[in-house]
Amino acid sequence: MLRHSLIARFVLGAFATFALPATAAENVTTFTLENGLEAVVIEDHRAPVVVHMLWYKAGSADEKPGVSGVAHFLEHLLFKATDNMEAGEFSATVEANGGSDNAFTSFDYTGYFQRVAADRLGLMMQMEADRMRNIKLTEEDIVTERDVILEERNQRTDSEPGNLFSEQRIAAQYMNHPYGIPIIGWRHEMEQLSREDALEFYETYYAPNAAILVVAGDVDPAEVEALAKEHYGPLKPTIGLPERVRPQEPPQLAERRLTYEDPRVAQPYVIRTYLAPERDSGDQETAAALTLLADVLGGSSATSVFGRELELANRKAVYTSAFYNGTNYDDAMFGVVIVPTPELSLEEAEAEMDAVIAQFIEDGVDAEQLARVKTQIRAAQIYANDNVGGLARRYGTALTSGLTVQDVQDWPDILQAVTEEDIIAAAKMVFARDNAVTGWFQKPSVEGEVTQ
């Protein structure tokens, strides 16, 4: 289509002189306390607000076998009493200061944050430092809060067939690595979680030498450092902190396929994930190529390869996507998904998607499309400055996933340097069916009826 490429070239032309503002790196400073606490400070002086985040380099993948969910359970318990505060006092104090707080647990990290007026930073640090080392748990806390996490599992997993399916698929993907165990935990193990289980995890990992402090907002880095020294400085590190070495995956010798059936399925689909390398410190090129592969293959539904071939041209799908998130401590996943139109069976949909992938590897990358994707990545750096909390989260995730501040700052340039050939090489490397789990998500097939 001549007109199409002319328009693209015209618009792309506008970007030859694309100007970037002062890079984010200039607003970011770091320091490390003597007890091992690493800190990142991101300045944004537009509003008198600060986001105070404390990240622990410990998530569900650091749990011992048999106590799945304990990292997340402990996250809940950190809102109970300490030697110096009543249960609930932490959040009540944040609220009394007009702030809000929450926490989150993932495979590789557990994080706590407050968003509050910038002049209350010291108080937040004082309370966060207190609960790093001084929690005081009663048996009653354990019993009630265990009910709460079971209701949380009810709400977020058991009431969502798509999430139950995802739990099964990921368990099939990671046969040996703890990423195969759900973050919230398997129900039968959650029901047995004890005070001792929680305290063992706490005493090992809740320590300054396993933590990352991220402070973002209307703050002066020197003042942040002084406050951090005052509040976090006196905390004793954990001696003999375990090295983060998790069991790794053996070679996959047989293709893994599963079919999840549930009467609540309204929209059947096919999803396949491949084991894929993650971003490694000083070595992010492969992950960058995979990131762009996901964008080019299945990013925008109007212009990606999947979108054009499966949604627009042939109307095979109502939705398609390719996804990859390389910010992981260990091996990540690259995924593709097709939600077919009602006329297509899952078998046909899978075949259509595979044919498009094969054709893409043969045809190579559309240069104009790649240029557009890179333009958007560049612009995303500008838009990202509008959300300092998001930037804080980006650093926290990276630093708890084995990356450094330098790696975070190098990442945009590494993405820009990816070539068409790099993307095809990444595709050839990652699309190995031997390394994949293919899942079908559908309603139970009716007895005596031929499955389409």
**One of 302, 444, 449, 450 touching other proteins (CB under 8 A):** 302
Can residue 446 be called a binding residue for other proteins (CB under 8 A)? Answer: no
What character string, x for contact with other proteins (CB under 8 A) and - otherwise, covers 8-27? x--xx-xx--xx-x------
Can residue 432 be called a binding residue for other proteins (CB under 8 A)? Answer: no
Binding footprint of other proteins, residue count (CB under 8 A): 84
Contact 12, 211 (CB under 8 A): no
CB of 226 to other proteins, least distance (A): 23
**One of 116, 212, 296, 305 touching other proteins (CB under 8 A):** 116
Can residue 393 be called a binding residue for other proteins (CB under 8 A)? Answer: no
The candidate with the shortest Cα–Cα distance to 174, out of 434, 437, 448, 405, is 437
Can residue 376 be called a binding residue for other proteins (CB under 8 A)? Answer: yes
Please return the burial class of 257, using the count of CB atoms within 10 Å of its CB with bins 0-12, 13-18 and 19+.
Answer: middle
Contact 12, 368 (CB under 8 A): yes
143 or 355: CB nearest other proteins: 143
Can residue 122 be called a binding residue for other proteins (CB under 8 A)? Answer: no
Contact 219, 118 (CB under 8 A): yes
Can residue 151 be called a binding residue for other proteins (CB under 8 A)? Answer: yes
Can residue 102 be called a binding residue for other proteins (CB under 8 A)? Answer: yes
**One of 199, 371, 405, 425 touching other proteins (CB under 8 A):** 371
CB of 65 to other proteins, least distance (A): 24
Stretch that binds other proteins, among 60-68, 125-133, 313-321, 323-331 (CB under 8 A): 313-321
CB of 318 to other proteins, least distance (A): 5
240 or 342: CB nearest other proteins: 342
Token pair, residue 34, equals 């003597």
Can residue 119 be called a binding residue for other proteins (CB under 8 A)? Answer: no
Q: Compute the distance between CA of residue 109 and CA of residue 71 in angstroms, rounded to an integer.
A: 9
Q: Per the residue annotation, which of 75, 128, 145, 311 is the catalytic one?
A: 75
95 or 230: CB nearest other proteins: 95
The candidate with the shortest Cα–Cα distance to 369, out of 1, 8, 10, is 8
Residues 6+ apart with CB under 8 A from 195: 137, 139, 142
Can residue 368 be called a binding residue for other proteins (CB under 8 A)? Answer: yes
What are the phi and psi torsion angles at 276 (to 5°)? -140, 150
Can residue 3 be called a binding residue for other proteins (CB under 8 A)? Answer: yes
Active-site residue, 447 included: no
Stretch that binds other proteins, among 238-246, 253-261, 371-379, 404-412 (CB under 8 A): 371-379
Can residue 397 be called a binding residue for other proteins (CB under 8 A)? Answer: no
The candidate with the shortest Cα–Cα distance to 304, out of 329, 338, 280, 332, is 338
**One of 119, 191, 203, 386 touching other proteins (CB under 8 A):** 386
Q: Compute the distance between CA of residue 187 and CA of residue 72 in angstroms, rounded to an integer.
A: 13
Q: Compute the distance between CA of residue 196 and CA of residue 167 in angstroms, rounded to an integer.
A: 27
Please return the burial class of 144, using the count of CB atoms within 10 Å of its CB with bins 0-12, 13-18 and 19+.
Answer: exposed
209 or 320: CB nearest other proteins: 320
User: Which contacts (CB < 8 Å, 24+ apart) does range 296-305 have?
Assistant: 296/365, 296/366, 296/369, 296/370, 296/373, 296/423, 297/322, 297/336, 297/357, 297/360, 297/427, 298/322, 298/323, 298/336, 298/337, 299/373, 303/369, 303/372, 304/369, 305/356, 305/360, 305/366
Can residue 43 be called a binding residue for other proteins (CB under 8 A)? Answer: no
Can residue 147 be called a binding residue for other proteins (CB under 8 A)? Answer: yes
CB of 378 to other proteins, least distance (A): 7
Stretch that binds other proteins, among 30-38, 71-79, 223-231, 237-245 (CB under 8 A): 71-79
Contact 339, 317 (CB under 8 A): yes
What are the phi and psi torsion angles at 378 (to 5°)? -65, -45
The candidate with the shortest Cα–Cα distance to 76, out of 155, 137, 14, 5, is 137
Token pair, residue 106, equals 């993932």
Can residue 219 be called a binding residue for other proteins (CB under 8 A)? Answer: no
33 or 78: CB nearest other proteins: 78
Can residue 146 be called a binding residue for other proteins (CB under 8 A)? Answer: yes
Inter-helix orientation angle 367-384/405-417, to 10° = 150
131 or 256: CB nearest other proteins: 131
**One of 25, 66, 83, 92 touching other proteins (CB under 8 A):** 92
Q: Compute the distance between CA of residue 2 and CA of residue 148 in angstroms, rounded to an integer.
A: 60
Q: How many CB atoms lie within 10 A of CB 91?
A: 16
Please return the burial class of 75, using the count of CB atoms within 10 Å of its CB with bins 0-12, 13-18 and 19+.
Answer: buried
Site for other proteins in 225-284 (CB under 8 A): 263-267
Can residue 88 be called a binding residue for other proteins (CB under 8 A)? Answer: yes
Can residue 318 be called a binding residue for other proteins (CB under 8 A)? Answer: yes
12 or 258: CB nearest other proteins: 12
CB of 14 to other proteins, least distance (A): 5
Catalytic residues: 75
